[in-house]
């Protein structure tokens, strides 16, 4: 075996740590000498010996580190370094470098939490035993979801509640007063609806205005209160106040109230475009019928927001007589008076009929 064959076989042993079997060196007769080294490859997936596998890994790491050190050292002198540059060193020097690198590799692999693969399908370099713990991730969620204890659930709900309260405070949605007076607010809404069915809007306004200090325009309950109040104000002819409330409700984060406010505020725009005014003074001026334009009179057209102000006077009288709130006792008295009146009328009619006969 000549010098080239010796160097090739020696390099092969250093890189792979394998014993060459049935190696043969052939010389070509064409121009230059070519050395062909054939070695029977060992199946590294087979777990022959754990210590032998660690030596192979250590040798590969040592070789890579040695090449990196030599390359970085010689790059400062602007020289090109090749992988075969270490072959020019003496044999004893190469062995000494390899032993030092192997010791460093062994110390690295003996560190805590290092996994040493047995087969090459998972890679040949050491890695952490628990990758999920080291780098994060790898959560295992069982079937049916993760079981949370009652204490943890309470802590999560409390944290969520605090986050919601902080968001509501920053957005101007204070629901603490609403929660404290929720029953009172809902009762006021129901009473106002009943009063509107009885055509008593002024009393409905009082009911709603009594709870506006407890609600916010951006909350669910507050949106309902202010929407009903705006519609009641519009019925009573207080259009400017209703417009202001509609404009505020259009900014509500709740889509339902924002959409309703937009639709109702469109009525004012339509009245302006149609030149319809709902005040009685203007209606008196417009109340004329010329023969040629009688069909174009707008006295009874498009005007759906006007409310007879005589009802306001009626409401004031009822409040002075304490008749603004119907109670069961008052209803019983009214029924008794009505029965007495019917009885008197019946007796008078019977006497009148008897006398005629």
At 127 the three-state DSSP class reads strand
How far is CA 7 from each of CA 30, 253, 308, rounded to the nearest angstrom?
Answer: 21, 81, 116
For residue 111, what pLDDT is reported?
61
Q: What angle do CA 18, 20, 26 make, to 5 degrees?
A: 140
| Torsion region of 304: left, alpha or beta (phi above 0 gives left; psi -120 to 50 gives alpha) | alpha
Beta bridge partners of 81: none
**pLDDT higher than threshold 50 for residue 53:** yes
Question: What is the tens place of the pLDDT at every residue in 215-274?
Answer: 888 888 999 999 999 999 988 888 889 999 999 999 888 899 999 999 998 888 887 777
Map tokens 């270490």 to a residue: 86
Angstrom distance (rounded) from CA 80 to CA 198: 101
Percentage of the chain beyond pLDDT 70 is: 58
Angle at which helices 220-235 and 255-273 pack, to 10 degrees? 20
d(CA 119, CA 121): 6
For residue 37, what are the contacts with CB-CB under 8 A and spacing of at least 6?
5, 8, 9, 12, 20, 23, 25
Average pLDDT over residues 306-318: 59
Does the pLDDT at position 76 exceed 60? no
Query: Which pLDDT score is estimated for 141?
Result: 75
Contacts of 125 (CB under 8 A, 6+ apart): 57, 61, 117
Say if residues 291 and 220 touch (Cβ distance below 8 Å): no
Stated pTM of the model = 0.40
């Amino acid at each position: 075996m000549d010098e080239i064959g010796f160097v090739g076989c020696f390099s092969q042993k250093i890189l792979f740590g394998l014993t060459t079997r049935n190696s043969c060196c052939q010389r070509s007769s064409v121009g230059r000498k070519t050395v062909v080294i054939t070695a029977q490859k060992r199946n590294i997936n087979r777990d022959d010996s754990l210590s032998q596998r660690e030596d192979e890994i250590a040798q590969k790491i040592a070789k890579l580190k040695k090449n990196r050190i030599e390359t970085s050292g010689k790059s400062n002198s602007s020289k090109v370094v090749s992988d075969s540059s270490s072959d020019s060193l003496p044999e004893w020097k190469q062995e000494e470098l390899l032993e030092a690198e192997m010791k460093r590799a062994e110390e690295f692999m003996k560190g805590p939490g290092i996994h040493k693969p047995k087969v090459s399908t998972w890679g040949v370099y050491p890695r952490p035993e628990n990758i999920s713990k080291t780098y994060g991730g790898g959560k295992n969620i069982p079937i049916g979801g993760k079981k949370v204890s009652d204490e943890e659930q309470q802590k999560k709900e409390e944290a969520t509640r605090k986050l919601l309260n902080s968001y509501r405070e920053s957005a101007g949605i204070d629901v603490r007063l609403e929660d404290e007076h929720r029953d009172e607010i809902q009762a006021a809404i129901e009473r106002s609806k009943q009063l509107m069915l009885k055509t008593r809007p002024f009393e409905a306004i009082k009911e709603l205005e009594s709870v506006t200090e407890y609600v916010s325009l951006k909350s669910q309950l507050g949106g309902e209160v202010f929407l009903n109040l705006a519609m009641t104000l519009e019925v009573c002819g207080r259009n400017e106040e209703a417009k202001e409330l509609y404009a505020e409700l259009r900014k509500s984060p709740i889509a339902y109230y924002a959409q309703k406010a937009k639709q109702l505020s469109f009525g004012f725009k339509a009245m302006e475009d149609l030149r319809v005014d709902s005040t009685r003074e203007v209606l008196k001026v417009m109340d004329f019928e010329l023969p040629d334009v009688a069909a174009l009179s707008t006295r009874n057209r498009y005007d759906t927001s006007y409310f007879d102000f005589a009802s306001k006077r009626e409401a004031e009288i009822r409040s002075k007589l304490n008749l603004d709130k119907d109670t069961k006792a008052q209803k019983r008295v009214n029924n008794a008076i009505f029965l007495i009146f019917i009885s008197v009328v019946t007796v008078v009619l019977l006497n009148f009929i008897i006398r005629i006969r």
